[in-house]
């Protein structure tokens, strides 16, 4: 995954509460698995009418084009556990979600896919919603900067390390268990050398 250190971007505001994963990524697309194409289904039913025309939605608004930061209300990503909701979000270009609260599984899927999820108090959500210029989200410093305003945020150290390094699940295991894995392989090589292509096996 691409490491997340710091991004500066305009905000895409989708401020309703309880936007569930079926709204983010409609269920009828669940059989689609090409992650690189998921961005087109991001908020599909709110962005595109049945006749294919565009609906009024922040994600269709030219002033938010290229936004990498999504600002949401409470319980964003609640509902079913579909990981495609996060795939569609990243496919649309979003790298950071700032919301009052997040669905638990959705938040875990964000971390798994390199998306920084921040859950500040509602008062900060409201302040950010009023800002029209780009803001900076700095994971190394653990702060959001908007002009002369600075909003610190907290994130578990293990999550921060994972995002800063761009580690997926396998990278995380290798980083934390490298010595134990090496010890296991060395012991196994002695009793099952054929698994390692040993040339002296008859």
178 and 141 co-located in one domain: no
At residue 43, φ and ψ (nearest 5 deg) are 50, 40
147 and 177 co-located in one domain: no
- Confidence (pLDDT) at 123: 97
- Confidence (pLDDT) at 202: 44
118 and 185 co-located in one domain: no
- Confidence (pLDDT) at 201: 45
Query: How many domains does the chain contain in total?
Result: 2
Beta-sheet strand order (sheet of 143-146): 6-9, 135-138, 143-146, 149-152
47 and 138 co-located in one domain: yes
43 SS3 class: coil
Distance CA 49, CA 55 (A): 6
pTM, rounded to two decimals: 0.86
Is residue 1 situated within a structural domain?
A: no
150 and 140 co-located in one domain: yes
| Residue 4: how many other CB atoms lie within 10 Å | 20
Q: State which residues of the chain have pLDDT below 50.
A: 201-202
61 and 141 co-located in one domain: yes
175 and 75 co-located in one domain: no
Is residue 76 situated within a structural domain?
A: yes
49 and 95 co-located in one domain: yes
- Confidence (pLDDT) at 97: 98
User: What's the domain range around 71?
Assistant: 6-167
Distance CA 175, CA 161 (A): 11
Distance CA 104, CA 15 (A): 18
CB 139 within 8 A of CB 4: yes
126 and 142 co-located in one domain: yes
78 and 21 co-located in one domain: yes
Is residue 21 situated within a structural domain?
A: yes
CB 171 within 8 A of CB 2: no
146 and 104 co-located in one domain: yes
CB 163 within 8 A of CB 139: yes
Beta pairing class for 96-99 and 149-152: unpaired
Angle of helix 84-91 relative to helix 104-112, nearest 10 degrees, comes to 50
Is residue 91 situated within a structural domain?
A: yes
Return the CATH number at 126.
3.20.19.10
180 and 143 co-located in one domain: no
């Amino acid at each position: 995954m691409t490491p997340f250190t710091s991004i500066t971007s305009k905000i895409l505001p989708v401020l309703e509460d309880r936007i569930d994963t079926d709204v983010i990524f409609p269920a009828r697309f669940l059989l689609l698995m090409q992650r690189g194409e998921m961005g087109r289904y991001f908020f599909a039913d709110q962005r595109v009418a049945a006749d294919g025309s565009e609906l009024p939605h922040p994600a269709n608004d030219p002033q938010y084009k290229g936004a990498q930061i999504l600002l949401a209300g409470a319980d964003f990503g609640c509902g079913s556990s579909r990981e495609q909701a996060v795939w569609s979000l990243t496919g649309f270009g979003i790298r950071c979600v700032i919301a009052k609260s997040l669905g638990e599984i959705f938040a875990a899927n964000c971390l798994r896919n390199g998306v920084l999820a921040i859950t500040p108090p509602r008062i900060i959500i409201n302040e950010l919603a009023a800002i029209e210029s780009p803001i900076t989200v700095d994971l190394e410093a653990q702060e959001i900067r908007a002009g002369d305003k600075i909003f610190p945020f907290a994130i578990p150290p293990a999550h921060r390390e994972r995002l800063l390094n761009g580690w997926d699940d396998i990278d995380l295991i290798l980083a934390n268990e490298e010595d134990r894995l090496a010890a296991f392989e060395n012991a196994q090589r002695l009793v099952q050398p054929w698994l390692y292509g040993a040339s002296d096996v008859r």
